Structure 1
Amino acid sequence: MARYEVNEAAVAKARDLIAARQYVLDNEWGDVQPDADASNAFLERHGWEDYAAWHLGLKVGAKDGTKARYAFVYGDLRRVHRSGLIACIYRAAEWRHKQVETAANDLLQELDKAAGIE
């Protein structure tokens, strides 16, 4: 099974976006999750470093600058999505990537606090 480590740059970006109130609270993640076309267009405009910052997980052993390296996208490449963080928690828990699960859960708690969700 693939192993993932937490992408600290992505955690920092998500925290910055939450603090700036750049988040969406209610939507269906499947409807807004970036697809291949959106990801490719973002990569062309912004490069790998910015692309990586939208992914909470880094696949151990995969090369930087490849899509195989980055997993657990949490936003639409513009804003954090609450449903995206929940999807990250679920997927990470399902595949036993505990560090990524914990990071996503911590971000969800920060977002909920910022949004006044109790």
Structure 2
Amino acid sequence: MTVKLHRTAYSHARRLVEQGKVVRDERDDWSEHAPSAEEQNRYVEKHGFHDYGEWFLGVDDEKSDETKGQFSFPFGDFSKVHRCAVISLESRAAQNDHDDIAKAAKSLLELIDKQ
């Protein structure tokens, strides 16, 4: 698995934060706030995989373009960036040596906290 920073998604996340589309929730809230598999499937059906992928900081180019499995490290609920998701993904990315994703998440978190 070759997961790398999904730069398009990172730019999308930054724009959302700059527009104030952020949920400033607590560290451990992501398990309750994360979209369910059903919500993800509905989003894909309505918007397609390209738009779906813009909500994940990780992308694996070795996976099929038409699968949810191509994307990892979610940062929001398809409408807003969640602070708790960014904290969670930064930790997981650092633990799994995805330094570019961890660095991007840290940058997003700093932007959220600065706003």
Q: TM-score, normalised by structure 2?
A: 0.93
- Please identify runs of 4+ aligned residues in structure 1 that moved more than 2 A: none
Structure 1 unaligned residues grouped into runs of 5+: none
Match of 2:51 in 1: 50
2:76 maps to: 75
Q: Note the alpha carbon deviations across 1:67-87, whole angstroms, 9 max, x for none.
A: 111000000111000000001
Q: Secondary structure at the match of 1:47?
A: helix
Partner residue in 2 for 1:108 = 109
Identity of aligned residues (%): 34
Structural RMSD (CA): 1.0
8 Å CA contact 1:3, 1:97 repeated in 2: no
Aligned length: 113
The answer (yes or no) to whether the contact 2:4–2:101 under 8 Å persists in 1 is yes
Q: CA deviation at 1:60?
A: 3.9
Unaligned ranges ≥5, structure 2: none
- Aligned to 2:65, the other structure's residue is in SS state coil
Q: Normalising to structure 1: TM-score of the pair?
A: 0.91
Matched residues in 2 for 1:35 and 1:96: separation?
A: 27
